[in-house]
Structure 1
C-alpha cells in the first residue's frame, strides 16, 4: 500500500460540521484514482491534507507506512501557478533550486520539454503559451519533483474539449511510462472513467463510494465511445 488515510476528519475554522469525516481511503502503487463529487464535498481539501498544507483534526495519513509530511508528494493545484517572469525552462527548474536533493540539470529539463512537445518554447514566457501548453509545463514541474505520488486538482478543467482530450492522452502516456501513483480531481465524469483505475465518489453525507473502472489498459480514445464507459458514466451521474 502506497498511501493510507485512516479515519481522517477535518473541519474548517469557524464551521461546526466537518467537511471530511472519518475518511478511510487506500491507494496502491501505480494506481490512478479519481475523486468526484459535488462542489463542497471536500475533494480539494483531501489533496491539501495529503500534501500537509492542512492538518487533520483526527486520524492519520501515511505514505509507505510513515506519516506524510510537507514535500512528500507532488501537488498541482487548479491554477498552473507558473511564474510569469521566468521562462518555461526556468519554471520547471524551480523544484531543483528549492530542493537540493532533486538532481535535475538543464539538459535533463530540455530533454523532458522535447518529450512533451515543448522543445521550441524553453525560452518563452507563460503568457506566450496556450492553456494546454501551460498545463503541460505545470504538470512537468510537478513530475520533476521526483515524487512517487502526484496529486492533480482539476488540471484540465479550464481547457476546451479538443485540447482536454489531447492532454488526457498525453497524461496517460507519461503515467504509464513512469509508473507514478496519481490522485486526480475532476468534475468531468467521462474523464474520470477514461483515465482511472478507481473512482471515489464523495457524497453530501461525508461518506464515499468506490467504483472500479472495468476498462483494460492501455487506454485509447476510441474507448470514450465504448458501451462500458457510457454506461459507467450514466451510473455515476445518477449517484451524484
Structure 2
C-alpha cells in the first residue's frame, strides 16, 4: 500500500485563539513495504504527521491517501509513545482488543498465544502489564498494533523510554518482524543511530516546514556492526550537522 500526503497543512488554535502553523504544504510518499523514519527538532510536527495519517486529526488543506483513497480512521495501525496497555487486563486480553472492537478482525486466543510466543512473550499471557519489563511491554504494545491487521503501521518513538541495551535489542527484534511480515512502517525517533539502523529512508523535518529526504546507504539485512561503517558514521555526522545548524 502506498501512502501519499499531498500539500498537507495543519494548524491549531491556542488558548489566546491564535492560530499556530505546525505543518505547511507537506508532500510525502511512502511506498509499500518501506521502513521510513521521521526525525527533527521538537516542535517540527513529527507526531502531528502521524496523527494526521491515522485520521485522528484532519488537515486544514491537502489530501492524505492510501492507494489513491482518502484515509479514514482505522485504516492504519498506530502505536503512540506510551504503550497504553490497559493495566487491569492481562497481556493476552490486551492484545485481543482489536478482535473485540473491529468487525473485520477475528483472532482466537489460540492464535494470539502463537503470536505471543513469536514475540518472546510465551508464558506471560495471564500477567498484568505492571509485571513486565519496559521492553516486554513495548513488544506487547507492538503486537496489539500488529494484530489490527493493518498493512501500514505508525510507531511514535516506541523505544524512547528504554535503556540503551534494551533499545538495541528491540531495534533488532523490530527489524526481524518487519522483514518477515512485509509491513509498511513509519517510525518517529530522536535517535539518529536508530533511524539509520532501521530505515530505508529518513525524512528530516526542518523548523521552517521544509522536509528533506535522505537515503540510508546500508544493505539489508541489517546488523548492529553496520553502524560502525564509514557510510553510517558519515551519515550520522551529516544529520547531526544539519540539525545543529537549525534554529527553531
Name the TM-score, length of structure 1 as normaliser.
Answer: 0.99
Report the counterpart of residue 130 of structure 2 in structure 1: 127
In structure 1, runs of 5+ residues without a counterpart are none
Deviation, structure 1 residue 17: 3.8
CA RMSD of aligned residues (A): 0.8
Whether the 8 Å CA contact 2:39–2:190 is kept in 1: the answer is yes
Report the counterpart of residue 175 of structure 1 in structure 2: 178
What is the aligned counterpart of 1:190 among 182, 188, 193?
A: 193
How far apart, CA to CA, are the structure 1 residues paired with 2:196 and 2:120?
26
Secondary structure, in 3 states, of the residue corresponding to 1:230? Answer: helix
Report the counterpart of residue 217 of structure 1 in structure 2: 220
Deviation, structure 1 residue 221: 1.3
Report the counterpart of residue 51 of structure 1 in structure 2: 54
Report the counterpart of residue 246 of structure 2 in structure 1: none
* 1:81 matches 2:81: no
Report the counterpart of residue 11 of structure 2 in structure 1: 11
Secondary structure, in 3 states, of the residue corresponding to 2:59? Answer: coil
Moved over 4 A (4+): none
C-alpha offsets along residues 167-195 of structure 1, whole Å, 9 cap, x if unaligned? 00000000000000000000000000000
How far apart, CA to CA, are the structure 2 residues paired with 1:84 and 1:224?
37
In structure 2, runs of 5+ residues without a counterpart are 244-248
Report the counterpart of residue 206 of structure 2 in structure 1: 203
Deviation, structure 1 residue 103: 1.7
Deviation, structure 1 residue 225: 1.6
Report the counterpart of residue 166 of structure 1 in structure 2: 169
Deviation, structure 1 residue 121: 0.5
Report the counterpart of residue 25 of structure 1 in structure 2: 28
| Matches for 1:105-120 after TM superposition, within 5 Å | 105-120=108-123
| Matches for 1:51-70 after TM superposition, within 5 Å | 51-70=54-73
Deviation, structure 1 residue 96: 0.5
Report the counterpart of residue 72 of structure 1 in structure 2: 75
C-alpha offsets along residues 7-40 of structure 1, whole Å, 9 cap, x if unaligned? 0000012343411000000000000000000000
Deviation, structure 1 residue 105: 0.9
How far apart, CA to CA, are the structure 1 residues paired with 2:22 and 2:103?
36
Secondary structure, in 3 states, of the residue corresponding to 1:19? Answer: strand
Deviation, structure 1 residue 86: 0.3
How far apart, CA to CA, are the structure 1 residues paired with 2:85 and 2:207?
33
How far apart, CA to CA, are the structure 2 residues paired with 1:16 and 1:205?
16
Secondary structure, in 3 states, of the residue corresponding to 1:61? Answer: strand
How many residues get paired? 240
How far apart, CA to CA, are the structure 2 residues paired with 1:236 and 1:113?
37
